[in-house]
Amino acid sequence: MTNKEKYKKAFSAVHPSDEFSLEVEKMKRIRKRYVCKKMAASILCCVLFMTSAKVAYAMDVGGIQRTVQLWIQGDCTNVTVQFEGDGTYSMEYTDADGNEQFRGGGGVEFASDGSEIPLSEEEIMEYLTMPDVEYKDDGSVWVYWYDQKVDITDKFVDGVCYVKFVKDKEPMYVTVKYHGGFAAGPHKYVDPDSWVSN
């Protein structure tokens, strides 16, 4: 007879008491609770990891993306703007004719010590809400600001046109130099003779 068979024969007559069986059942329930809590904690960790990974991906690869409404050529338009951390932006939208449009740009400010400071998201948005001048294929020239649009084709005197807009009782003065750029501000018209040519 082997040792295994001897042990079976010796312990076959021994039976656990009812108290011991109850204790085993309690241990099984506690273990189930522990496993459930552990599983819930694991799922929560996975969710947190995935969320932080998405945020890190957006910050790392694509900057900050927002969908905003901007006035483009006098029409309120839904625009997706991607703000990069280096002071640049790119945006896409569908124009009034149903065509997909893409634009981008950006810039820097110069500190008193001459160092460059990338434009902030707020500064870029301020730039995107400034007036805009468009030279159309038919030869006409238009100025846009929010929902206002003005045809200034015949308003140039000596190659310069001055336009005043008012929104919510606040003025916006626009000085347009024909094919030479424009300036806009809330205080007064800019003297085009002071502009530096490229």
pLDDT tens per residue across span 92-141: 888 878 888 888 887 888 888 888 888 888 888 888 888 889 998 998 99
Are 184 and 144 spatial neighbours (Cβ–Cβ below 8 Å)?
Answer: no
- Return the structure tokens found at 56: 């890190």
Quote the Cα angle for 26-31-37, to 5°. Answer: 130
Alpha-carbon gap, residue 75 to 96, rounded angstroms: 8
> Quick one: what percent of the chain has pLDDT higher than 70?
68
Q: Which residue has the tokens 């159309």?
A: 136
**DSSP-derived secondary structure letter, 74:** T
Which tops the pLDDT comparison, 136 or 195?
A: 136
Task: Output the DSSP codes for 130-167.
Answer: S-EEEE-TTS-EEEEETTEEEE-TT--BTTEEEEEEEE
Alpha-carbon gap, residue 132 to 142, rounded angstroms: 8
Cα dihedral value 142, 191, 146, 77, nearest 10: 70
- Residue ranges of the domains in the chain? 14-61, 63-119, 130-198
